[in-house]
A and B are shown apart, each in its own frame.
Chain A
């Protein structure tokens, strides 16, 4: 069974500024947790704490109830840590993978079998005798992962392990990772700034913004009901607008109706988060938010329409995805915008 993790009342400061604040976070055994956040959110700092590479200024991180600062070498060896930069050593691929096993005093023959097995699972066994530092970035990342998997960890910490790979290579990498973990009861904590990866592969997602945990939940929950505007942006909502809920439940943006309504939230300030394909562009004069088309360009399976919404306080940029065969408005054309409630979220605002 994978290891359980608990983070309690953790604070990390750099240069007098708090860069990470986590009041409480539990990771269940064999759970696949993703830490999602923009660059500089504190994701790597959190992972380094979990790996016991750095210590918090305050608070405690526990693995199976034991504080990481008190973990002995044997317990520490149950944790695998895959860094963003592969950090391979100046020796062959096989020696790189065998080295942690040698430190664990695994007999030579078994060591070789385990190392080759891990390389096989990541489809890089054919590189075993090559110098590790001469490999391409993608190959190095696979070897880096194989090195951690070879030790059969109970807890695997992955810091953007596919960073620097193109979209296709990332998809293959994650498929191979999923396969490699499929028959293992290992707890994983994985850091990413790509919402599609977290939402696709996670059991639960932690959203970290400006060093603070903003939301913890299932991918479905995070995707459908982000906690606030910052989380909505991180999750990938293309349009995040300040709004207001009227006493009868209508949602207005700058006094303009949006086509959205809610009975769950009371009247008051709100935020509308809408994916680009939730934006319905209609003729000017129709009920909705008035806007002007700034540009139209082809997208993958759709057309991207950039708009400037006209609010009393000024212009607000909007993005819409229209069907590839749908009639597209011309740049400079006045239109009205409404939102499809199935692809939008209404959040409590401040």
Chain B
């Protein structure tokens, strides 16, 4: 009995011998961590995106503070200049003026216009005027008669009014009375420990029920809940220990749960069905032997592949990387220590096998596959892939399009309001207008005002920056209160207001970032900083995804020593990704932590499934066995835990879609989409591809 004369068996005996101390130690650690847990989950990924981003780092080096700009879209109906609308706009202003941290409001009321007045009796004056403080009638008349000067604040049908709010901190707009029907983009999600606890409790309760239904026993529910709770808490605690200053995003919890569910299901399911033929304790040993190799390699793929994200500057990618590493390693350790120790206390009489009939049904169906359907599917996938690639090459920034906050704020370091600063601003104005004239509504800068004043004083004289009288400009800026608006921290500010239906903001952002060869221009509004940070991660994410695909193929090749197996793994894992990317591009969905987390969960699941399936096929390939039988056995042994694990995750994530927490709902939605794609690829395409490329070509020995 060589099978019982190895180190692995001795390890199994050790676990069983010390099962009570093992469970006690882990339980004590768990209880200690529960008591000392201080982590609050953050629902707002903005801070995480900003930390480590290149543009944000530049801003911090210059000790210049970021600003928040919120574009409000207010419905004003078909009478935009009515008394009621003007009154409401004035009320909105007065409501915002009471809110702490709001620095300025840009609306038709505060829009600056340089005018020149002359009474032909020797009195003349060039001044900066605004509608703020004027009577309702005056405002209404001016808006009607000089609409062109204010058109940037109205949609083309004049039914929507745009108001921009500048603040030093994020503002909770739900607490401000806005007397219009309105739309606010990107409202900050509040942390709520009560909501998070309820969510986690519901999640565990759902898993508890689903395990009971699947296995017709309460044992997997108890063990699964314990295993998932232990793994989640250990992962989060370890992450807090490694990165104490980085907030834990609520989605990290979901990554930890997803990783632990799969490891648990593989081991528990194996042990469960094994008891049809073996004792419960012998089943533990057999299942350990069967699963340790694929689980080890899936852990390696997760740790090395997804874990490579820790080398990116972005804190958000780092946190995903660290958490996948920690949850995978923790799940591996707990699977072959705590879970084994726990299983030894349980015994299943007449183990229920949920997929006994369905495995046969699918095996028969897939064994009689039509080659033309398979080829057609791959042709469509390749076509979709090429279209997606072409689209990404032609319009690379569409991946990060999100906000309707079509405003960009820039800071140009300078020695205050100088001629040099004006020249740089003029250069920028000239270049950006040359490139994006139709996409820009207005640029508010020192150059705009300096040019406006100079031309108003001498309309007949050709405007040249060199001829500007800086003493007068400086005095006018101070007199009309625009100095503090456009000159800050010794540098000068520039606000670019983009056309609502114009080009993607990210295209302009990328142009701005490459325009300044000296790399001194700073983006200082949070929305633009976030867009840039996300944009910077795209290339890295693509590299990581390709690396993971390559890694899975390498692992499969290492296990099987067969190139075709590696090729199948590569194809199967690529399919859901290709379809997912094309859906993202078609629906113009923006890259966010929700999508990244969903992708990571999917890659982890998909690589798990491919490694388990192909490892099984490699070990059990017999030329004598019919395709139907072969597939049926693979579905019972491997397909079922993959199906159970994925379905449980799928149901859990469907429930999350209905959770009243936007981040969680989004992760739920994307994960459902991706897990479904991954499940289809693993259960329907992988077996057929294996039959086609490997089994049908297996040579019978003479």
To the question of whether A and B form a pair in one complex, the answer is no
Binding site for A on B (CB under 8 A): none
Binding site for B on A (CB under 8 A): none
